[in-house]
Structure 1
């Protein structure tokens, strides 16, 4: 009887030790399979305030803080008026090509529906800082937030912004647009360039004029359309399209 009891106790201890080892092994596996610190940083900062998820791991939330300027220059675009010269720069470590981003910006600003549609303004991309009136930056969420904060603007790492001489496009918005925008990514990209460059040209925010109609390009479409439909262009059918000015 005593031998049986000893065997039962020994067997019970062995089962307890095996279960404990299994728990420790599982916990160890959880630690090693979890996100690395850099991944957690992307999740914490990439999607902006109030978001449940960060950006996909295909691009970072922060970069080097330094920028590569696209080379060369574009033709002068527009029929008449003063010439606004701009540079295009992409943050190092953002995973984006400066020349490709410059080509996208050039295509937007050269479109007759963009700001040159007034026939009272011309634009040209150049590479030299000394000759440029402003620079269009593509920056990671953390870097764009810091750049905007230098001018007293709070973006929560989510929105783009404009400071005098600086148009700062948030990388996350450039790659993901915003939820429920209701239009392809290319439309949002054209909108965000025209909107922030519009600020550089002295334009303020505007309200949705007619629910169900196009949103003015100076409406803050990133925060919602307020009943309007997505629209990327300041000129529609050859005419400047506006809403009521907002304070």
Structure 2
């Protein structure tokens, strides 16, 4: 549910405003600025190419502009997209959002769980919680297991079964609960830029942002527990091969693969991939 970023352009996690609305608006503003800068660079390149063609047509293409007093060509100035602007006096996150940064290491749920689902490919998973996050691995694992075991979840289609393994046992993927700083760093290794705000999925890793887990997002319209179920199912959906989907119409449930963290677009919050026993989806988003 994060925007693409080249793998060599990792950014430092930023301290966002404590107010969730302001935090979301800050993220959106930064994303808008990056898109505008990218658009301006494309126009600049197009203009330079057109000018070069015109010079060649006039027989002036062999002329060079030289640096003053050196007799060497003036090196081009490389325009870089501005980095996400760190607030000059960042506010501390509210206590209910948990710490902004943990130890960067993880504790794993200690016990295995039952197989959820009656048919389909068996996918085994681990559950891990960052040390220093203030959360317990076994408690987080219970919430993940509850979402995975519900018939409205991904097992509802009969094509996949899910089972938690103990500790760091062999698994197909791992569900992580990480602080904003650590989740941002983990997502960045996959070329995903989250501004420390939203969750993500990289191959074999479902990464849940601690602040979103504890406080959800503004205007979600349902309890935090509903958002928690949504974000687990959304990022797991990516791990299972599903892409983003759009709101199918005002007043209708939001597909679980819709980026509900960034607004409902007229839809109503929905945590589940299956509604009334049927796979519920919207149009695919490129």
Query: Match of 1:57?
Result: 95
Deviations 1:164-202, CA, capped at 9 Å, x for gaps = 000000000000000010111111000000000000000
Instruction: Provide the rounded CA distance (Å) in 2 between the counterparts of 1:110 and 1:92.
Output: 26
Aligned mate of 1:185, from 224, 234, 238? 224
1:23-49, Cα deviation, whole Å (9 max, x unpaired): xxxxxxxxxxxxxxxxxxx99347556
User: TM (normalized to structure 1)?
Assistant: 0.80
Q: State the match for 1:132 in structure 2.
A: 171
In structure 1, the gaps of 5 or more residues are: 1-41
CA shift in 2, pair 1:45/1:127, >3 Å: farther
> Runs (4+) of structure 1 moved beyond 3 Å?
45-49, 51-54
For 1:184 and 1:208, locate their aligned partners in 2 and report how far apart those are by CA, in whole Å.
20
Which structure carries more relative contact order (alpha carbon 8 Å, separation 6+)?
2
Matched, 1:169 2:140: no
CA RMSD of aligned residues (A): 1.8
* Counterpart residue number, 1:156: 195
Q: Number of aligned residue pairs: give it.
A: 206
Indicate yes or no: 2:12 matched with 1:44: no
**CA contact under 8 A between 1:43 and 1:55: conserved in structure 2?**
no
Q: 1:203 aligns to what? A: 242
Structure having the larger proportion of residues in helix: 1
CA distance in 2, matches of 1:91, 1:78: 28
CA distance in 1 between counterparts of 2:136 and 2:217 reads 22
> Secondary structure in 1 aligned to 2:193?
coil
> Per-residue deviation at 1:216?
0.1
Matched, 1:213 2:255: no
**Partners of 1:84 and 1:43 in 2: how far apart?**
35
Q: Normalized against structure 2, the TM-score is what?
A: 0.69
Q: Distance in 1 between matches of 2:122 and 2:224?
A: 29
Q: Is the 8 A contact 1:43 1:53 kept in 2?
A: no
